[in-house]
Structure 1
Amino acid sequence: LDDHFRLNANLVEVETGFVAWSRRYSGGFTELADVQDELTRQIVGHLVGGLVRHEERQALGRGTSSLEAYHLVLRGRYEMNRYDPAGNARARSLFQQAIDLDRNFARAWSNLSRAYNHEWRYRWSDAPDRSMDLAQICAEHAIGLDPSDARAHGELGWVQLYRGELDRALATYETALRHNPNDSEILSQLAIVHSYAGRTQEAEALLERAIQLEPDTPDILFWRLGDVYFQKGDYRRVIQVVQKMRDPGEGARLLASAHAHLDMLDEAYRWRDEVLRR
């Protein structure tokens, strides 16, 4: 129809033909401005990250010492995301190896901060207070090496959040967002700060924005949004959003309690059993 449009947007690397990003849009011409805004968000929030990952994959094949350090960080992140004590210990070792290769590698320091934070948070450390102190030291050192690295500021904010320093965490995450306003992880962590402070409306808006920036939304964002709905007492929406996770069982604790609040006891017991099993 005359008042409708269809748009195919593609970005292709000329030398290799690599399709970095592709998307289709359609609608009425009155929606064109909204589509332009959405296109911008996708480019900044997802496309840039995809291009960086593609360039990194190319660079990793060249095998210089700095790229070896980067490869160690990638391996460390994989191990850290196992969320178990052995994996976290391996991650910490890999991050330290990367630092030994390049003492000025800010991202290695910020990831080491997260590994120490996990030690404290999940009580995998024999000296949890020392682990949290080291998490802060590493995050602050990463910022000193690269003040423009949003993730470095994010790690410091993460430490401040779990120390209960909500005002400091809020200011630190606002700084992180100034350096990268479309980082979904930073947005979701800032949402947690607002959530802990009882500002659930702000937390909900930030998480919805983070989800919009992630075409392939990770489960953690749905889980965090479900947690915000739980704080608001909107238990039906808790169930709806957690069920969007690829593995809703990761949200079993929320599902068990939300069903119990709704007097849906058969489902509550079923998800309670899943919590205990896991």
Structure 2
Amino acid sequence: MPTQPLVFGPFALDPDRGTLLRDGEPVALGRRGILLLDALLKRPGEIFTKTELMDAGWQGSAVEESNLSVQIALLRKALGPMPDGGDWIATVPRIGYRFLGAGLGQEGRTAPHQPKPSLAVLPLTSLSSDPEQEYFADGLAEDIITMLSKLSGLVVIARSSSFAYRGLSVDIRTVARELGVRFVLAGSVRKSGNRLRIAAQLSDGETGAHLWAESYDRELADMFTLQEEVASRIVGALKIALGPKETAQWPGIASTGTTDIDAYDCFLRGRAMQRGATQNADVFRRTSELFRQAIDHDPTYAAPYAALAMAMGHAYYNRWTDDPEQALAEARRLVEEAVRLDPNDAFPHGVAALVSSYRADFERWASEVEIALTLNPNFAPALALRAMLNTYSGETSAAIEDLERAIRLDPLFSQNYLHHLGVAHLVAGKYETAAALLRERILLVPNTDMSRAYLAAVLGLLGDDEGARQVWGELMAIKPGYSFEEGIGRTPFRNPQDLNRIRSGLLRAGLPIDCPANHPRG
């Protein structure tokens, strides 16, 4: 039986006939475009991963991702702009696309907005003869990122994405295109004794041309002022309009919070290790010691208190100590001190939100994450924390919007946000999208256990018992002692029905979700 045409705005798509009409007149669109548009229209407002769309458009044939990009571009050209000037098809960076069609409810649309200047700060190349000084160069660049992130009129890509280009010889235009920014800051730093030399260049990502370039040769003790100078030059070059509060803070918006070089050095060393690829009990102990040394050097320095609180929170969650509850209690005490010492720094408030999430203190979780985002609108981890709060509270539309924004700010770290996006769509009852997002996350993080646990539940809810059992088998191979109660069951869903629905998906597939074996949480 022929299907009814899919109508949106002035268009009508008839997938059976392979036609698209605008106000009754044919629109030139190839077969691939018809197949892609048909898929997008059947799940308006939902994210389609690139893999899903390639399957829909090429029906199982192996194709390059660039073919999808070309077809989406042709499809956008054929549809033209929406009445409000935006695209019918929105890009979700590094993940896929979603259809924003006329007649969709608020859940499927995002409010139109004026584009802001966008910037990526690449890691400063360390020219020191000591290769271990790289952490120092990273610290200088990251503090410039933090300063600029506080400006509401500027989109600043998170360091976890911009630092992925460390050591790579890439064209500025390529970086700008891959991160979705207009401007790129690059440079180098040489630390020698008590002298510091920094070279910085701000470039236009479309042309590759320098907007300005400057070299600074200063005493090491002047580096905090130097960071502000570089940030101020960027603000001036990009003609960023500052709000009244930002004007009052600038200059003097430095994120370091100390003038003690030794304290700052210990903090940078600890932070570099805390963000390294390897995280385990030994790394936790070493980073904790460095943060404690930073506090000893400057007891009024808020950042190491917050970083140590984060370390203790992770130790609680991953069971890296013999007394996890004591670790969580210490994390709470440390972050309270960090907030007291520097209430205008977003980082301690973000850690306070994280610690509150472990304690299932929803009220504090909500208030701290809002403060963090008020102080730093570009703080991607805080957006993810707010998204988790909204997911566990059943507010999935808000969660999805925050996670998509976090991906925009931190596109190369999207594997972390993919998991939470999948869970948000699961709670929203959008099981096909949830399954696609969780599968995508598993491709990026092959040893993940939690994404597999959720995916098995989604497949059970979709009636794919065989698929659920296969994913569960992979999960048990990775973590033989996994049980639902010690895994998903620990997540703080405010509505017990949401958790019960996830459990029911596993039970429908006949999976033995509870394992009696003792094992560490994680």
TM-score (norm 1): 0.76
Pairing 1:1-278 to 2, within 5 Å after superposition: 37=115, 39-40=117-118, 44-47=154-157, 49=159, 58=189, 62=196, 64-78=261-275, 82-245=278-441, 246-247=444-445, 249-250=447-448, 251-278=451-478
Query: Which one-letter code corresponds to 1:58 in the other structure?
Result: V
Q: Tell me the CA shift for residue 98 of structure 1.
A: 3.0
Bigger mean CA deviation after superposition, 219-228 or 267-276? 267-276
1:49-105 alpha-carbon deviations (Å, 9 max, x no partner) = 559x989973777585244224322333135x6343333223222322333333333
The alpha-carbon distance between structure 1 residues 87 and 235, as it changes in their structure 2 partners (threshold 3 A), is farther
The alpha-carbon distance between structure 1 residues 86 and 37, as it changes in their structure 2 partners (threshold 3 A), is same
Unaligned runs of 5+ in 1: 1-26
2:342 and 2:440 mapped to 1: Cα distance? 37
Cα pair 1:41 1:213 within 8 Å, conserved:
no
SS at match of 2:156: helix
Query: Which one-letter code corresponds to 1:271 in the other structure?
Result: V
Tell me how many residue pairs correspond in the alignment.
Answer: 250
1:155 and 1:89 mapped to 2: Cα distance? 18
SS at match of 1:243: helix
RMSD between aligned residues? 3.3
1:192 and 1:228 mapped to 2: Cα distance? 8
1:242-277 alpha-carbon deviations (Å, 9 max, x no partner) = 233322542222222222222223322222122222
Q: Tell me the CA shift for residue 218 of structure 1.
A: 3.0
2:157 and 2:453 mapped to 1: Cα distance? 34
1:57 and 1:171 mapped to 2: Cα distance? 39
Bigger mean CA deviation after superposition, 207-216 or 98-107? 98-107
Bigger mean CA deviation after superposition, 229-238 or 167-176? 229-238
Cα pair 2:116 2:155 within 8 Å, conserved:
no
Query: Which one-letter code corresponds to 1:268 in the other structure?
Result: A
SS at match of 1:58: strand
Cα pair 1:70 1:98 within 8 Å, conserved:
yes
Cα pair 1:77 1:91 within 8 Å, conserved:
yes
Q: Tell me the CA shift for residue 223 of structure 1.
A: 0.8
Cα pair 1:116 1:134 within 8 Å, conserved:
yes
The alpha-carbon distance between structure 1 residues 149 and 220, as it changes in their structure 2 partners (threshold 3 A), is same
More helix by share: 1
Partner residue in 1 for 2:50: none
Cα pair 2:305 2:337 within 8 Å, conserved:
yes
The alpha-carbon distance between structure 1 residues 168 and 85, as it changes in their structure 2 partners (threshold 3 A), is same
2:191 and 2:472 mapped to 1: Cα distance? 44
Query: Which one-letter code corresponds to 1:72 in the other structure?
Result: R
The alpha-carbon distance between structure 1 residues 48 and 222, as it changes in their structure 2 partners (threshold 3 A), is closer
Unaligned runs of 5+ in 2: 1-76, 88-111, 121-152, 167-184, 197-219, 221-260, 479-522
Percentage identity across paired residues of the two chains: 25
SS at match of 2:410: coil
Larger Rg: 2
1:175-233 alpha-carbon deviations (Å, 9 max, x no partner) = 11110112111000011112222222221221122112223233111111111112223
Cα pair 2:263 2:295 within 8 Å, conserved:
no
The alpha-carbon distance between structure 1 residues 126 and 213, as it changes in their structure 2 partners (threshold 3 A), is same
